[in-house]
Amino acid sequence: MGKGPGLYSDIGKKARDLLYKDYQADHKFTVTTYTSNGVAITSTGIKKGELLLADVSTELKNNNITTNVKVDTKSTLFATVTVDEPAPGLKTIFSFIVPDQRSGKVELQYQHEYAGISTSIGLNANPLVNFSGVVGNNCVSVGTDLSFDTASGNFTKLNAGLNFTHSDLIASLTLNDKGDTLNASYYHIVSPLTNTAVGAELTHSFSSNENTLTIGTQHALDPLTTVKARLNNYGRASGLIQHEWRPKFLFTISGEVDTRAIEKSAKVGLALALKP
């Protein structure tokens, strides 16, 4: 485990990954190849019902500078340039979208033994300013996540979070949506040898007085095969199996069924990732 509290986005991340990562109801195919000069080219295709979406991205690393350019089927170009550690603990990220002239953004991230800070500002006349900060250590941390729209003069995001980490468990509490949503999550490693873990997430909305509880688990059948399952209080059960049939060649099949309406068709998703 690394030192320091990390960034605000790390609060509750382990539980979110356990409960939601790799689950999907679509068909996805990803292929990554490398040119002789080290450029990584990734092609991705996703079939959503009758709709087919695709994109191609290239990634070039030169010392501590990483440039990523992606183009999708709508001829939209996404570009990101990351400068890793121009100074100790600092990372600079510049991104923009073409043809969206208001999308340019520069972000600074700084991680210290007792703090993690991320701030960004849009590169336009009336930018959106984001700030998130966490203070603490690798055991206990508290933080906030803010966004301010200079055009309207209003805060568009006001979040706060608390994270507690032990050797085999992580508990998190966040207040989101300007105080309207309370989220509590829990992640516990049962057996490191088999990558077995359990997790839960409870979300309460003060405006609607609704609660959503999701519980899940994961287990490695062998060093190459992992299974996951989750269930929420609305009766939606999901499961997946992921197999690495060759190094960095991942095949994932996932499904979801509404246990309160078994007569409805189950959703099944397939994902194939090839990365030599």
For residues 242 and 240, give the distance between their C-alpha atoms in angstroms, rounded to a whole number.
7
What is the full per-residue pLDDT of the chain (276 aa) written as tens digits?
Answer: 447 899 999 999 999 999 999 998 899 999 999 988 889 999 999 998 888 899 999 999 999 999 999 999 888 999 999 999 988 999 999 999 998 888 899 999 999 999 999 999 999 989 999 999 999 998 999 999 999 999 999 999 999 999 999 989 999 999 999 999 999 999 999 999 999 999 999 999 999 999 999 999 999 999 999 999 999 999 999 999 999 988 889 999 999 999 988 777 788 999 999 987
CATH of the domain at 147: 2.40.160.10
Residue 64 DSSP symbol: T
Is 1 within a domain? no
- Adjacent-strand bridge partners of 213: 202
CA-based end-to-end distance of the chain: 28
Instruction: Give 24-38 as a 3 state SS string.
Output: CCCEEEEEEEECCCC
| Structural domain boundaries enclosing 216 | 8-274
Q: Quickly tell me which residue has 């603990």 as its tokens.
A: 89
Measured in degrees and rounded to the nearest 5, phi and psi for residue 17 equal: -65, -40
Number of separate domains in the chain: 1
Going 208 to 210 to 212 to 213, the CA torsion angle's sign is positive
Is 214 within a domain? yes
Residues 6+ apart with CB under 8 A from 189: 168, 169, 196, 197
Is 3 within a domain? no
Contact 107, 119 (CB under 8 A): yes
Is 2 within a domain? no
Contact 267, 237 (CB under 8 A): no
Model confidence, pTM = 0.89
Is 130 within a domain? yes
Q: Is residue 257 left, alpha or beta, with left meaning phi > 0 and alpha meaning psi from -120 to 50?
A: beta
